[in-house]
Amino acid sequence: MELHIRDVSKTYPNGVQALRDVTLTIPVGMYGLLGPNGAGKSTLMRILATLQEPDTGAIHLGDLDVVQQKDAVRQTLGYLPQEFGVYPKVSAEALLDHFAILKGIPDKKARKEVVEALLRQTNLWEVRRQKLGGYSGGMRQRFGVAVALLGNPKLLIVDEPTAGLDPAERVRFLNLLSELGENSAVILSTHIVEDVSELCTRMAIIDRGEILLEAEPLGAIEEMRGRIWRSVIEKGALAEVERAHAVISTKLLAGRTVVHVFSDAAPDPGFEPAEPDLKDVYFSTMAGHIGRRREQPEPEMAP
Amino acid sequence: MKFREIFRFEFAYQVRRLQTWLYFAALVVVAFLFVRGNHLADALYADFYLNSPFVIASVTVFAGLFWFVVAAGVAGETAARDVETGMHPLTYTAPVSKAEYLGGRFLAGFVLNALILLAVPVGVMLAVYSPGVEAEVVGPFRPAAYLTAYGFIALPNAFVGSAIQFAWAALSRRAIASYVGSVLLFFVAYGGMFFAAIFLERQDLAALLDVFGHVFITSDLILGWTPIEKSTRLIELEGPLLWSRLVWFGIALGTLAFTYLRFRFAHPTASHRWSRLTRRREAHAPTPPLNDIARSMISMPQFRQTFGSATQLRQTLAIAWDSFRTIAKSRGGLVLLAAIAALAVVVMPENMSNMGTPLLPRTEYVLTFLTARLTNPLTPWVITPLLIVFYAGELVWRERKAGLGEITDAAPVPEWVSFLGKFLGLGLILVAWMALLTMAGVLVQTRMGYDDFETGLYLRVLFGLQLPEYLLFALLALVVQGLVNQKYVGHLVALIAYASILFASSLGIEHNLLVYGSAPDWSYTDMRGFGASLGPWLWFMLYWAAWALLLAVVARLLWVRGMEGGLRVRLQLARRRFTRPTAGAAAAAVGLVLTLGGFIFYNTNVLNEYTTASGKMERRAEYERRFGQYANVPQPRLTGTNLHVEIYPRRREVEIRGAYQLVNGAAAAIDSIHVATDSGVETGAVAFDRPVARVLADENLGHRIYVLEEPLQPGDSLRLSFEVHFKPKGFRNSGGGASVAANSTYFKNDWLPAIGYQPRRELFKPGERRAHGLAPRPLFPSLADAEAGQDITGEAGDDLTGAERIAFEAVVGTDGDQTAVAPGALRRTWTEGGRRYFHYATDTPIGNEHRFFSARYAVHEEQWNDPSSGSGRVVAIQVYHHPRHAANLNRMLRSVRASLDYYTRAFGPYPYGYIRLIENPGRGIGAHADATTIDYTEGFSRFNPADDSRGLDLPFAVMAHEMAHQWGVPYAFAEGAPLLSESFAWYAAMGVVEETYGREHLQRLRRFFRQPSPIPPIRQSVPLLRAMDPYAAYRKGPFALFALSEYMGEERVNLAFRRLIEKHRLGAPPLATSLDLYRELQAVTPDSLRYLLHDLFEANTFWELETERATAEQTDAGAWQVTLRVRARKVTVDPAGVETEAPMDEWVPIGVFAPTEKQGADFGETLYLQMHRIRSGEQTITVTVPREPSDAGIDPYHLLIDLERFDNVEEVKIES
């Protein structure tokens, strides 16, 4: 079941335009939505999760109109918000059971099986009888996933899920997601590039409410081949390099600065070709060397 | 510096919030409504200014109560916002001391609250100066009046309230806890006050515990201040008010100190004892180790989601159960409810008393303590709606508060399912609450040794009648929370909704169709059952249930789901949610509202006339304007009544055919007859035994005029016949009416036509008359008018009518299983067509006030033989009572017999051949006497004097009092009339009590009379001969007569009454007045006591007698010499409060007593009791007694009227 997003815009009452003519097609599989903080990712996610209304535009999940047929969408939706809490004095098992009823599994036996499977899958089975108030951040996040997975959703929306996780948790969590991506459309919003590069079959880069790039990560990286150049310079020389070249990213390495520059041809003898990765795609897009920003001039910021 | 910044930031933060100003606005509204709703009418009638210090002070107190409960969050937030918002890691680690942090925050809370309370003077001023207030009740603007109220009442309240709320929130780290603190303080303070006042009888202690100034306002000001004082006197910080302020200031400081000591800059962890026990389970669970990824790939079981109605039902139940458990397990949940129920169990038995006498806890009576109408503000059960508001907020915000809002909102649960689930959850809480109350009631009965529990009645009343009202309100509260979408504003709006339900009627909205959840009162008594009260109640409830359904539809449409709280988007969404089933539900609800509303309106306004309180007043004014001109037109006098009454209890109908015998007793011929008809019944044709012409028939005002073709000559008589039909048509806004019910019937003769203009229909309060443009009239005809022989035939309220004496005859028919009672001896009874008939006729004329009863009575009959000198007179004593209400039967009979004995001897023979005691269906506890008949309401049979700790048999005395009325003379309705009725009856009853139970018992009764409750003393008044107030009638009058009998002998006073009765008993004009009695008293009073007679009756005299010191010394002879230093003063007080001292040189008893041996007795054995000549001022008296004294004093038994009750007698100090 594909998700089609057509020309969706959203402006908040305080004048902030959170989304601007967003058009995306999201197939079954893992889909990464990459963007800096405040880019409009969460707004888009909440609109997809039926919790917010777009000002204009249409969204369809297969035959379902997401804006109009909220009830039907919810029946096949899994949603893990960026931030959520739990009832601290309830056990994981009890709360999951409660949500199972809410998600349309009234039969007691089926519910028991589902709850057990999900708790095992999220590795919470041993601690299922403990009060959620005592859970660590990672466990809580896993519990949220368990809730989101209830009812085999055809559309799974996870908003910044790896933010609070330690490295091991994160790996396990992303694996869990990719497993789900085999049958459902999974939309993963994140500001961490690695999340996308490791998992997603398709991705979009969003900034200031606009989709800047929609691509397959591997293809996008391939396109960058030969256009990313690297140089290690002194910190003081950075300003000069920035003036002369299209610097897309810098980072410090042992007291010196590593500069990545976007250029169709070798810019300078001081530069060597770099093996491109998704970060380079991201930064190039943000800087306007590829993608939508390249096609049109920088829009005026709203006052 | 840091302190200042903390204060500044907090203050600035909250003062910019809308919420703060909403509290302010709400308080302005409350103050405004209080002034307009509560005081405006009083001010008009009682002649004090609307902007008087008194009004401002009392509004400050009551609005303060509202503030205290509603705005508790302000101080709570200052204390707990950091933890609640998760800011505390930042603020707690800042280099700020505890004192700076807590001090700054508390001060901000206090200042904010002080600011919010400024709304009260603003509201008062708005109420006083905005349009709609008569200019004459607005006094000059006095800033001091506002400042004193604010400074002495509002500010201290703000401090105490803020401190308590702050402490609770700071220590529990939850802002909401401040509400719990508020409610608790409310109950603790009121409970303590109540306890001190009622159980310990320590008014002083109660005043000390007076946290809000409530006692000060209600007892000191309302009762103690004259209208002039109320208008002008400023409240001062002195006496009990000062002390209570100081006590609570101290408590507040202590609370703050405790908070300071206990507060820690630490991450909130479970710290109290209970959670320490459960800590192990709540501590951080170890994160389970990560399994090998490949191994953990578990395939999900395959199942089908279903979304049919079965699932929705299951979802509803899941949400309901979850909601119930949440509330039930919270601190304010079942624990609090159980605590309140337990408190009720403790408090109720002590409250089940009347005038200090315990009452039997029959279930119907216990239920009156456990239930309260939603619209009733004057009950402790306002706690239930308040808790409902609180619970509704918690439930609507449950998911969002926990941070689960987005997840649950995205779940496939229809809005109506979550709404219905939460409503059912709240409903379950209320069911549990009703169950707790049922248990409380049964426990109360058990504690009091009563075992007839009537469980079915508990269930029917609490679950069938009380629960639906609360459910309706619960739905409203949920809808409000859902619509407002801001928790605390939601609370506020819900509270305002509740307040408008409570005070709608005082704002002039009286129709139950207009006030959510209101309905005519249902009532239940053992005799009547629910009578006809259930039907109307049910119709209104159905009507409101339809509204509730409509509200629920609106809530479903505008329910906020997800992030969109803006009105525009919500309306947009609502349009989308308006699906066919929703539209169907809305249409059904609207349809039901319209049909049920229409049906009710047809009943209340079409079938019956709908009258508001002001409409009723206007009708009375109109009656006077139109027919007042006939007030002095001579009318024939009623001399005989002959009735045929058919009572149909099951159809609730009464048909009366009757005839009056009228005689022209005036000196001139009478050419027209005025007939007043009653608006509660249908009066058919009125026919005369001679040709007449009906010239006017105003059915609305109830007045008809017939002109006789041939005038009625003096001494001639005529016969007037009439038909009266009582048949309720549907029901009224006030309900079904209680007069005629299937189980019991009770009505008075005011259904029958009356002759002449009826002055008693006139408005009589000066303010009401002024408001309707009527000329002022004296409240009561003056004594001078009565003396001048004006026609004062006694047309006033219940107690004073019926002066004319008539022959009465009636045949009364009723259902076959009921007994009907009317005045007169029972001549014959028979059964005809399944109905029973009773023929009653008087053999001696009786007063023209009578009542008719029909019920399944148990009848007790016995005879009393007049013991006096073989007269052979026999009086039949008959008691008609409810079969289950026989507990006091023997006591009442004993009183009746003792009264017959004593009164026959003292005042002359009982004039009738029978005396009847009839239990009267209805609530209330009073007794009432007509000629040959004493009827008592069901409550009277609940008296349980056996458990009276005072050892006083009050019902015996009350019955003797009613019996004494049988010897009362017909009197003119004029000033001083109560002296001839009530004062005489109590004086006489004291004689019966003494004769039956002895002197000591009489002293107990008199001690009860001296208590300020239920009849508080009135100092500023006219002399007894002219007084009409209850204190004069029921207390001072009997005391004066008793004092006289003690000074000059009971026989003399009784002789005076005997002579009065002989002269006036037949009721021939001119009727007796207080002056007739006074002349008889003068005739029997020796010259030496004329001064006392004068002081007691002709002047409003108060004695101020005090023993300052009493010492004793043993003489050589072994006797004891007692020296008393006493102070005496005598003043007269006029109605304006002007005191004039009168010189004193008169006989007053001096008494010396041995130590008390028996419990409950005033004193021990009397060692000395003699009259001494006492002068004004201080004097020393020395007497010698044979044994060691314990107490000594002046006027130890309070013969003279002395309002200070405790200073007459002192403990004797022994000097060696």
User: Per the structure block, which two tokens stand in for B20?
Assistant: 């703060």
| CB spacing of A49 vs B283 below 8 angstroms | no
Q: What is the pLDDT of residue B46?
A: 60
The answer for A 196-255 residues in CB contact with B (under 8 A) is: none
Using CA coordinates, name the residue in chain B closest to A48: B410
Q: Shortest CA distance to A187 belongs to which of A29, A36, A59?
A: A29
In chain A, positions 161-180, which contact chain B (CB-CB < 8 Å)? Answer: 168-169, 171-172, 175, 179
Query: Residue B1071 in contact with residue B981, Cβ under 8 Å?
Result: no
The 10s digit of each residue's pLDDT in B699-708 is: 889 999 999 9
Q: Do B407 and A81 touch (CB under 8 A)?
A: yes
Q: Quick one: tokens of B458?
A: 């508990």
Q: How high is the pLDDT of residue B299?
A: 58
Query: Which stretch, A38-47, B264-273, B1120-1129, has highest mean pLDDT?
Result: B1120-1129
Query: Which ipTM value was assigned to this complex?
Result: 0.88
* Band of residue B439 on the pLDDT scale cut at 50, 70, 90: very high
- Where in B727-866 does DSSP place strands (E)? 744-748, 754-755, 805-815, 819-821, 825-832, 835-841, 846-847, 851-855, 858-865
Percent of chain B with pLDDT over 90: 54
3 state SS of B746: strand
> To which residue do tokens 């603190």 refer?
B181
Q: How many CB atoms lie within 10 A of CB B1153?
A: 23
The percent of residues above 70 in pLDDT, for chain A, comes to: 97
Quickly state the pLDDT bin for B402 (edges 50, 70, 90).
confident
| Least confident window among A24-38, B147-161, B436-450, B862-876 | B862-876
Q: How far apart are the CA of B310 and the nearest CA of chain A, in angstroms?
A: 8
Query: How big is the CA angle at B999 (ends B994 and B1002), to the nearest 5 degrees?
Result: 65
Contact residues on chain A for B306, CB-CB shorter than 8 A: 104-106
Contact A121 B300 (CB under 8 A): yes
Name the pLDDT band for A301 (thresholds 50, 70, 90). Answer: very low
For the beta carbon of residue B236, count every other beta carbon within 10 angstroms. 11
Question: Which tens digits make up the pLDDT trace of A103-124?
Answer: 888 888 989 999 998 898 888 8
Contact flag B310-A50 (C-beta cutoff 8 Å): no
8 Å CB contact between B775 and B763: no
| pLDDT classification of B868: cutoffs 50, 70, 90 | confident
Q: Rounded to whole angstroms, how far apart are CA atoms B192 and B210?
A: 9
Is it the case that residue B648 has pLDDT exceeding 90?
yes
**Strand ranges (E), B602-743:** 637-648, 653-663, 670-676, 682-688, 692-698, 703-712, 717-726
| β-pairing verdict for B1166-1175 and B1145-1153 | antiparallel
Res B788 pLDDT > 60:
no
CA separation for the pair B860, B881 (Å, rounded): 8
Q: Pick B403's closest partner by Cβ from A84, A134, A136.
A: A84
Nearest chain A Cα distance for residue B406, angstroms: 7
Least CB–CB distance from B305: residue in A105, A123, A147: A105
> Rounded CA gap, B777 and B243, in Å?
45
Residue type, B504: A
Burial (Cβ within 10 Å: 0-12, 13-18, ≥19) of residue B87: exposed
DSSP character string of B1093-1113: HIIIIIS-EEEEEEEEEEEEE
Rounded Cα gap, residues B115 and B109, in angstroms:
10
Written as one letter, the residue type at B1195 is D
Q: Tell me if A114 and B576 make a contact (CB, 8 A cut-off).
A: no
Is residue B796 pLDDT above 50, yes or no? no
- DSSP letter string, A243-297: HHS-EEEEEEETTEEEEEEE-SS---TT-EE----HHHHHHHHHHTSSSHHHHSP
Interface of A with B in 70-89 (CB under 8 A): 71, 74-75, 77, 79-81, 83-89
Which chain B residue shows the shortest CA-CA distance from A51?
A: B562
Residue B144 burial (CB < 10 Å; 0-12/13-18/19+)?
exposed
The model's pLDDT over B911-960, given as tens digits with 9 standing for 90+, comes to 888 999 999 988 888 899 988 899 999 999 999 998 888 889 999 999 99
**For residue A257, how many other CB atoms are within 10 A of its CB?**
17
Greater model confidence, B70 or B993: B993
Report pLDDT digits (tens) over B489-501: 888 889 889 988 9
CB contact under 8 A, A149 and B297: no
- Cβ within 8 Å of B, A 140-159: 144, 147-149, 151-152
Which value, to the nearest 10 degrees, does the dihedral of the CA atoms of residues B75, B77, B83, B85 take? -170
Cβ atoms of B609 and B699 closer than 8 Å: no
The CA distance from A193 to the nearest CA of chain B, in Å, is 23
- What is the distance between the alpha carbons of residues A31 and A215, in angstroms, rounded to a whole number? 10
Closest alpha carbon to B129 in B49, B11, B225: B49
Closest chain A residue to the Cα of B564, Cα to Cα: A52
Report the alpha-carbon distance of residue B505 to residue A129 in Å, rounded.
54
Interface contact B564-A138, CB threshold 8 A: no
Residue of B nearest to A133 (CA): B282
Torsion, Cα B1031 B1036 B1042 B1047, to 10 degrees, reads 180
CA atoms of B9 and B395, how far apart (whole Å):
32
- Identify the bridge partners of residue B1173 per DSSP, sorted by sequence position: B1147
Give the CA distances from residue B751 to residues B399, B643, B652, in Å, rounded to whole numbers and listed in that order.
62, 12, 15
Contact residues on chain B for A120, CB-CB shorter than 8 A: 296, 298
Phi, psi of B935 (to 5 degrees): -110, 145
Contact by Cβ (8 Å): B824, B789: no
Instruction: Decide if A123 and B305 are in contact by the 8 Å CB cutoff.
Output: no
| B819: β partners | B855
Exposure letters B442-473 (e unless 16+ CB within 10 A, then b):
bbbbeebebeeebeebbebbbbebbbbbbbbb
Using alpha carbons, list the distances in angstroms from residue A109 to B301, B663, B802: 12, 93, 81
Distance of CA A290 to the CA centre of its chain: 20
Look at residue B1140 and give its three-state secondary structure. strand
**Residues of chain B neighbouring A103 (CB-CB closer than 8 A):** 305, 411-412
Please, which residues bridge with residue B735 across strands? B732
The pair of structure tokens assigned to A262 is: 């976007």
Cα–Cα distance, B967 to B985 (Å, whole number): 9
Q: What is the mean pLDDT of chain B?
A: 87
d(CA B1005, CA B1009): 6
Contact A113 B576 (CB under 8 A): no
Contact between B305 and A75 under an 8 Å Cβ cutoff? The reply is yes
Q: Is the pLDDT of residue B718 over 70?
A: yes
pTM of the model: 0.85
- In this model, does residue B544 exceed pLDDT 60? yes
As a whole number of Å, the end-to-end CA separation of chain A is 40
Percent of chain B's residues with pLDDT above 70: 92
The length of chain B, given as a count of residues = 1216
Q: How far is CA A151 from CA A80, A148, B210, B301, in A?
A: 14, 8, 60, 10
Shortest Cα distance, chain B CAs vs residue A48, angstroms:
10
Average pLDDT of B24-28? 91
The answer for A 5-34 residues in CB contact with B (under 8 A) is 13
What's the Cα-to-Cα distance from B483 to each of B394, B559, B561, rounded to whole Å?
14, 7, 11
Is residue B428's pLDDT more than 80? yes
**Closest to B23 in 3D by CA, of B693, B489, B396:** B489
- Of residues A50, A135, A136, nearest to B410 (C-beta): A50
Cβ–Cβ gap A172/B301 under 8 Å: no
Question: In the prediction, which pLDDT does B300 show?
Answer: 63
pLDDT tens column, B999-1011? 989 999 999 999 8
| Type of residue found at A65 | D
A117 touches chain B (CB under 8 A): yes
Residue A237 tokens, joined: 């020389």
State the nearest Cα–Cα gap between A139 and chain B, in angstroms: 7
Return the half-sphere exposure (C-beta side, CA atoms, 13 A cut-off) of residue B332. Answer: 22
Pair of tokens at residue B1017? 């003393």
Contacts of A124 in chain B (CB under 8 A): 288
Mean pLDDT of the region B978-987: 94
**Does A160 contact chain B (CB < 8 Å)?**
no
d(CA B967, CA B631) in angstroms, rounded, equals 31
Do A22 and A44 touch, CB atoms closer than 8 A? yes
Angle (deg, nearest 10), helices B415-447 and B363-370: 130
Listed residue (B37, B39, B59) closest to B49, CA to CA: B39
Q: Which residues of A touch B314 (CB under 8 A)?
A: 101, 106
Task: Report which of B1028, B921, B927 is spatially closest to residue B981, judged by C-alpha positions.
Answer: B1028
The gap from C-alpha B948 to its chain's centroid, in whole angstroms, comes to: 23
Return the biggest CA–CA distance within chain A.
Answer: 71
Q: How many residues comprise chain A? A: 303
State the DSSP H helix or E strand holding residue B315, giving kind and residue range, or none if neither.
Answer: helix B309-329
